[in-house]
Structure 1
Amino acid sequence: DRIREIGNNRADHTPWPSDDLPEYGDYWGSERPFSPITPKYPEGESLMHFRIRIGTFLEELVEKHRAQTVVVVCHGGVIELTYDHLFNIGPFRRAEVWTKNTGITRFELVEHPNREMWRLHYHNRMEHLISLETENKKQGTKNGKQHQQPATK
């Protein structure tokens, strides 16, 4: 529940019941993109609440799994806020990190004597989909559906 996308949790970080989720729509493209502290819904989570939730998760993950390899599966908004937390980006960003569906991102915690340092190795890696794309082309399918070639005259 701690790495759910924004709009799935209340301001106190407890999840909304699935049958009562508020409709956030395109939160990132809202009419108030520079208002990260104002929740869109009463009792809802603001962007800053979301950042605190993700940052806390990351800090606790490091404490519990230092020097281990950890895989986290999550939505793109969580990855975007991971960048914000690890790279210490303020609340009013001027750029966004575009994350594709099933893209793989790899961060590494590099230990230094007096500080913590994060390294980004890659973002949006898609090699794991190449074999699927090749197989679809061989079978004449597009997006998993049979693709018919237009008739020629």
Structure 2
Amino acid sequence: MTQLYLIRHGESWANVQPIMAGMQGDKGLTPRGVAQAERLRDRLAHGELQADVLIASPLPRAKQTAEIIQPALKLPIIFDDDVQEFKIGAADGMTNQEAWAKFGAPNFQDFPLRPIAPEGESVGTFMLRVAQTLTRIIEAYEDKTIVIVCHGGVIDATFLYFFQMPTFVLPPTDFHTCNTSITHWERVHRRGRQLWRLNSYNDIAHLHDIGAIESVRWEYTDLTSDSHPAVPLRQGE
């Protein structure tokens, strides 16, 4: 039976600042993000998850998270470029405002095949990459327990992949995948065939007293309005 655990990285500087964070713009985890990853490590150290393989995105925020939890899983980390977040190409390292001013604000709903910037991905190409990558990993580690430390966009895309939804348009739903949350898919035999079952989504039990806040999202940055904060407000602020 194949078990797939997807872990989102801890809170990163790109989550609290409007920065386009590819390999250049990604400055790794905030102190809060480090604490979140350490809480997850301590949780996994009790043997809750007996993994056979540990795969991680090489982007600094995911790489750092994987390195923090690795001692609990006692596995080498396999870095895989294909589980990176949505690739932003020439916008890497820019603020959202700079990127939108130079390349235009993204409109994924109406133009899902338009790259966000030169050398970057569109919604369609991102979804295709995630689908191809999941297929490759699942086939390579059939009947194994797989852990992938990755990104919110990748985790969100798994729902479209496993539910066989259209991938060239955005779904009429939204996701709020929290930092260091665990999403668990399991392949089971039902109705005469192999099916994927969702056992858990957004499991952040290890953050019971420090929580997870809403990340900066691209749509928060409006070049014509000051209605959205550049940095998300903490609870109670």
Given candidates 122, 134, 146, the residue that maps to 1:58 is 134
For residues 25 and 118 of structure 1, do their structure 2 counterparts lie closer, same or farther at Cα, with a shift above 3 Å needed? farther
Q: Assess if the C-alpha contact under 8 Å between 1:111 and 1:117 holds in 2.
A: yes
Superposition deviation, residue 23 in structure 1: 4.4
| Mapped pair 1:42 → 2:122 | no
Residue 92 of structure 2 corresponds to: 21
Q: What RMSD, in angstroms, separates the aligned Cα atoms of the two structures?
A: 2.9
SS at 1:122's partner residue? strand
SS at 1:2's partner residue? helix
Give the gaps of 5 or more residues in structure 2.
1-80, 211-237
Q: Assess if the C-alpha contact under 8 Å between 1:7 and 1:22 holds in 2.
A: no
Given candidates 148, 151, 173, the residue that maps to 1:95 is 173
When structure 1 is superposed on structure 2, of 109-118 and 55-64 the one drifting more is: 109-118
Normalising by structure 1, we get a TM-score of 0.68
Normalising by structure 2, we get a TM-score of 0.45
Aligned mates of 1:24, 1:38 — CA distance in 2: 20
Superposition deviation, residue 106 in structure 1: 0.4
Give, as a single letter, the amino acid of the residue that structure 1 aligns with 2:187.
L
Superposition deviation, residue 111 in structure 1: 3.6
Aligned mates of 2:83, 2:157 — CA distance in 1: 10
The Cα offsets for residues 105-134 of structure 1, whole Å up to 9 and x where unpaired, read as: 10011245864311000100111223x64x
Superposition deviation, residue 31 in structure 1: 3.5
Q: How does 1:1-153 map to 2 (within 5 A)?
A: 1-8=81-88, 21=92, 23=94, 25=96, 30-90=106-166, 91-92=168-169, 93-111=171-189, 115-130=193-208, 133=210
For residues 61 and 123 of structure 1, do their structure 2 counterparts lie closer, same or farther at Cα, with a shift above 3 Å needed? same
Give the number of aligned pairs: 123
Q: Assess if the C-alpha contact under 8 Å between 1:7 and 1:23 holds in 2.
A: no
Give, as a single letter, the amino acid of the residue that structure 2 aligns with 1:2.
D
SS at 1:45's partner residue? coil
For residues 103 and 45 of structure 1, do their structure 2 counterparts lie closer, same or farther at Cα, with a shift above 3 Å needed? same
Work out which of the two has the higher radius of gyration on C-alpha atoms and give 1 or 2.
Answer: 1
Give, as a single letter, the amino acid of the residue that structure 2 aligns with 1:126.
I
Identity %: 31
Give the gaps of 5 or more residues in structure 1.
11-15, 134-153
Q: Assess if the C-alpha contact under 8 Å between 1:3 and 1:57 holds in 2.
A: yes
Aligned mates of 2:120, 2:113 — CA distance in 1: 11
Which aligned runs of 4 or more in structure 1 are off by greater than 3 angstroms?
A: 22-27, 29-32, 111-116
